[in-house]
């Protein structure tokens, strides 16, 4: 998450997060392939290359500085990453320089081509150089033969530290407890996302030190091997600072650059384990003669590769007991089994329930129903003859932090005539979304005569939903303008347009944002007609402007704008100082 990737993606906020991550991966892959090829240069190819006239090499020089103070950073490693299709094998080892005491670096003998300039330094978030303030996607530079490019600055943000201790019930240190720093980020639609940023174990004195943290909001979570008071066995215990198994009750810790948050103390008491007993019930109110597989997943553990799992199989008739569960919130899923087998039935019934265990055994029934189908068609407003095929219609679960991100959203691709059929939709409540190019937007959704444009569709009781009509609008508007501090244009501000209606803020397609250029200008295209609050906020890696209550917390800084179909609105903004 260290690199700010091309903000080009901001044009299409729906894909912002997926692209941010995938772009980083592909970028790194490209780089490592280049490095790999370079290290494997075969004698033959080296030979062949030496016979060709080599182009005049290019040179790049500049400084690495602190993003906050502008002070030079010595001993930073500057790497030139090649994005060329055919990396030249003779350029091994990779193009690297180390900055001197003035933070200056020079890299010589560069083969002409496209490059990214990256800098790393312990204590700082890795960064890349930006080459053109007026172009948003400006992390790459084309070097021509013999070119000498100087004054390339790479700005690095200092990292922060969270430190503390873990002790047991007698206040004695516990060694070997896994401690995670989990970053909380927001995505369009107000979704909260957790990313594990750093993991350490406590030392023999029970101390931990989570360092190298990019500034932002963090949960600190421990995973302690602890004794169960009830069974005498060891059970793994998860707790969020200040000592709760519930992420909802966890305290967010704010890490600021170049600072240390000390004294984060956990006290781990002996554990008690509980059981969940109950019945699986179908629509008729009975479990019938079917058997079910039950899976309890600790919902607090989702950032850690999908959760800690406890399984059991119900008796015929559906009664079940899940043992050995520590306090916490669990999602218990029931899947119908094939008769006389432990295989999960492919089209069987399923259902789930959220269970919270605090200090006693819990009884819970699970309502199951057959997986259903959602079908319908799409239409494009004011258009005839356009192909309606190839659009992806998705059902995004209305989620909180507790929803399993590993679950794929049900989806289907439209036929040429615009019809779609989404199968195997599990129970829950969903929003329709269609990834679209700017200029088109999901304008209206109606199923069985009921409008779901801004309201979630509830799937329950095993009933199919047919006859959905999703209308795509083409009359989106534009919001543009300047961010001015007095008379001074403010570059590198994020301008975010937040719908006034809260119900819209929960929809991914309403996540509109854009960065100002060197002249403080911005332009947001593809704006869905409606009323918006505009904010010009500082670059914020948490994307906290996507949180549902951001606009309400920062009312004072908002500019209002009403965008009608096809409108272009010009709004000047003052820089906002948002409240966290």
Smallest distance, Å, CB 285 to other proteins? 27
Q: Residue 277 interacts with other proteins (CB under 8 A)?
A: no
Is 231 a binder of other proteins (CB under 8 A)? yes
Q: Tell me if 41 contacts other proteins by CB under 8 A.
A: yes
Contacts 24+ apart (CB under 8 A), 238-241: 238/298, 238/300, 238/301, 238/308, 238/326, 238/328, 239/266, 239/268, 240/300, 241/266
Q: Which CB atom, from 290 or from 314, has the smaller least distance to other proteins?
A: 314
Q: Which two tokens stand for residue 178?
A: 């896994």
43 binds other proteins (CB under 8 A): yes
317 is a site residue for other proteins (CB under 8 A):
no
Contact flag: residue 322 with other proteins (CB under 8 A)? yes
Is residue 235 within the footprint of other proteins (CB under 8 A)?
yes
Neighbouring C-alpha atoms within 13 Å toward the C-beta of 239:
21
Indicate which single residue of 143, 213, 378, 422 sits in contact with other proteins (rule: CB under 8 A). Answer: 213
Residue 173 sits in the site that holds other proteins (CB under 8 A): yes
User: Do residues 438 and 474 make contact, with C-beta atoms less than 8 angstroms apart?
Assistant: no
Tokens of 149: 């490019």
Per the structure block, which two tokens stand in for 132?
A: 């053109």
Tokens 């998705």 -> residue: 394
Site for other proteins contains 168 (CB under 8 A): yes
Asked if residue 376 lies in contact with residue 447, where contact means CB atoms within 8 angstroms, the answer is: yes
| Neighbour order of strands in the sheet with 450-451 | 419-425, 372-380, 465-473, 441-447, 450-451
| From candidates 53, 71, 93, 390, binder to other proteins by CB under 8 A | 93
Told to check if 327 binds other proteins by CB under 8 A, we report: no
**439 vs 475: CA distance, rounded Å:** 7
Which of 232/390 has CB closer to other proteins? 232
Closest contact distance (angstroms) between CB of 32 and other proteins is 9
> Hey, how many other C-beta atoms are within 10 angstroms of the C-beta on 77?
16
Size of residue set near other proteins by CB under 8 A: 61
Contact residue for other proteins among 90, 277, 474, 492 (CB under 8 A): 90
Among 23, 227, 478, 548, binds other proteins (CB under 8 A): 227
For 167: left if phi > 0, alpha if psi spans -120 to 50, otherwise beta; the answer is: beta
| Residue 75 in the binding site for other proteins (CB under 8 A) | yes
DSSP assignments along 389-433, one per residue: TTPEEEEEE---TTS-TTSPPPEEEPPTTSEEEEEEEPSEEEEEE
Q: Considering beta carbons, is residue 22 or 233 the nearer one to other proteins?
A: 233
Please pick, from the candidates 83, 135, 283, 312, the single residue that binds other proteins as defined by CB under 8 A: 312
Cα separation, 503 vs 350, whole angstroms: 29
Interaction pattern, residues 1-20, with other proteins; x per rule: CB under 8 A: -xx-----------------
**Minimum CB distance to other proteins, residue 211 (Å):** 4
- Please check whether residue 439 is in contact with residue 383, taking contact to mean a CB–CB distance below 8 angstroms: no
Which one of 204, 346, 359, 487 is in contact with other proteins (CB under 8 A)?
204
- Smallest gap from Cβ 23 to other proteins, in A, equals 12
Near other proteins by CB under 8 A: residue from 33, 54, 98, 148: 98
Contact indicator for 448, 463 with CB cutoff of 8 Å = no
Point out which span in 226-234, 436-444, 504-512, 551-559 binds other proteins (CB under 8 A).
226-234
Q: Which residues pair with 513 in a beta bridge?
A: 496
Among 19, 131, 193, 203, binds other proteins (CB under 8 A): 203
Q: Of the listed pieces 113-121, 337-345, 366-374, 522-530, which binds other proteins according to CB under 8 A?
A: 113-121
Structural tokens at position 157:
């943000």
Residue 544 DSSP label:
G
Q: What is the DSSP string of 492-508?
A: SEEEEEEESSHHHHTSG
Sheet of strand 104-110: strand arrangement = 104-110, 58-66, 148-156
What binding mask, one character per residue, do residues 175-194 give for other proteins by CB under 8 A, x or -? Answer: xx------------------
DSSP 326-362: PSEEEEEEEEEBPTTSSSBPTT-EEEEEEEEESSS-E
Q: Which of 84, 193, 236, 492 binds other proteins (CB under 8 A)?
A: 236
Structure tokens at 336: 């119908």
Q: Which residue from 29, 109, 201, 251 is in contact with other proteins, where contact means CB under 8 A?
A: 201
Q: Which of 109, 122, 503, 519 binds other proteins (CB under 8 A)?
A: 122
* Cβ distance to other proteins smaller for residue 214 or 371: 214
Comparing CB distances to other proteins, the nearer of 28 and 463 is 28
d(CA 519, CA 410): 43
Query: Both tokens of residue 302?
Result: 């989702």
Query: Is residue 282 a contact residue for other proteins (CB under 8 A)?
Result: no
Is residue 198 involved in binding other proteins (CB under 8 A)? yes
The CA radius of gyration of the chain, in Å to the nearest whole number, is: 27
Phi-psi sector, 232: left (phi>0), alpha (psi -120 to 50), beta: left
Distance CA 508, CA 432 (A): 10
Exactly one of 92, 135, 379, 484 binds other proteins (CB under 8 A); that residue is 92
* Smallest separation, CB 75 to other proteins (Å): 7
- Residue 68 engages other proteins in binding (rule: CB under 8 A): no
Interface residues for other proteins in 545-574 (CB under 8 A)?
Answer: none
Q: How far is the CB of 31 from other proteins (least distance, A)?
A: 8
CB 382 within 8 A of CB 474: yes
Please give the residue ranges that form the binding site for other proteins (CB under 8 A).
Answer: 2-3, 24, 28, 39, 41, 43-44, 46-47, 50, 74-75, 77, 79, 90, 92-93, 96, 98, 118, 120-126, 159, 161, 168, 172-176, 197-198, 201, 203-204, 209, 211-214, 225, 227, 231-236, 310-312, 321-324
């Amino acid at each position: 998450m260290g690199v700010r990737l091309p903000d080009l993606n901001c044009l299409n906020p729906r894909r912002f997060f997926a692209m941010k991550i995938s772009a980083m991966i592909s970028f790194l892959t490209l780089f490592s392939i280049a490095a790999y090829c370079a290290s494997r240069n075969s004698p033959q190819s080296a030979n062949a290359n030496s016979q060709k006239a080599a182009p005049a090499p290019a040179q790049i020089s500049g400084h690495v500085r602190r993003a906050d103070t502008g002070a030079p950073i010595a001993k930073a490693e500057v790497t030139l990453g090649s994005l060329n299709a055919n990396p030249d094998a003779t350029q091994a080892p990779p193009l690297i320089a180390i900055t001197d005491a003035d933070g200056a670096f020079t890299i010589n003998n560069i083969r002409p081509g496209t490059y990214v300039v990256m800098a790393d330094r312990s204590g700082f978030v890795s960064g890349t150089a930006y080459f053109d303030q007026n172009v948003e996607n400006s992390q790459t530079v084309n070097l021509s033969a013999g070119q000498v490019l100087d004054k390339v600055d790479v700005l690095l943000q200092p990292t922060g530290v969270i430190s503390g201790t873990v002790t047991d019930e007698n206040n004695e240190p516990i060694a070997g407890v896994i401690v995670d720093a989990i970053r909380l980020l927001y995505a369009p639609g107000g979704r909260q996302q957790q990313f594990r940023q750093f993991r350490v174990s406590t030392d023999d004195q029970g101390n931990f030190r989570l360092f190298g943290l990019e500034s932002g909001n963090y949960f600190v979570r421990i995973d302690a091997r602890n004794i169960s008071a009830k069974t005498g066995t060891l059970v793994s215990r998860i707790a969020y600072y200040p000592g709760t198994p519930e992420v909802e009750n966890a305290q967010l810790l704010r890490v600021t650059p170049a600072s240390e948050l000390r004294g984060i103390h956990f006290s781990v008491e002996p554990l008690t384990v509980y059981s969940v007993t109950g019945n699986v019930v179908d629509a008729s109110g009975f479990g019938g003669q079917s058997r079910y597989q039950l899976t309890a997943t600790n919902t607090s553990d989702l950032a850690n590769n999908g959760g800690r799992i406890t399984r059991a199989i119900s008796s015929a008739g559906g009664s079940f007991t899940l043992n050995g569960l520590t306090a916490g919130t669990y999602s218990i899923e029931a899947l119908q089994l094939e008769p006389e087998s432990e295989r999960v039935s492919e089209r069987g019934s399923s259902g789930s329930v959220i269970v919270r265990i605090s200090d006693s055994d819990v009884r819970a029934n699970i309502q199951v129903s057959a997986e259903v189908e959602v079908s319908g068609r799409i239409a494009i407003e004011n258009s005839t003859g356009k192909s309606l095929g190839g659009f992806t219609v998705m059902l995004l679960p209305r989620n909180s932090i507790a929803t399993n991100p590993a679950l794929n959203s049900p989806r289907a691709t439209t036929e040429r005539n615009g019809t779609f059929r989404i199968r195997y939709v599990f129970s829950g409540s969903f929003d329709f979304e269609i990834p679209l190019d700017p200029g088109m937007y999901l304008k209206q959704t109606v199923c069985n005569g009921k409008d779901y444009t801004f309201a979630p569709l509830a799937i329950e009781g095993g009933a199919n939903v047919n006859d959905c009509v999703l209308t795509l609008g083409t009359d989106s508007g534009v919001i543009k303008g300047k961010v001015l501090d007095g008379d001074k244009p403010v570059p590198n501000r994020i301008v975010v347009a937040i719908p006034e209606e809260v119900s819209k803020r929960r929809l991914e397609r309403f996540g509109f944002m854009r960065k100002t250029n060197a002249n403080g200008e911005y332009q947001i295209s593809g704006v869905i007609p409606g009323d918006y609050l505009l904010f010009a906020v500082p670059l914020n890696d948490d994307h906290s402007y996507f949180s549902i209550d951001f606009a309400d917390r920062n009312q004072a800084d908002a500019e209002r704008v009403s965008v009608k179909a096809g409108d272009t609105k010009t709004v000047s903004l003052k820089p906002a100082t948002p409240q966290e």
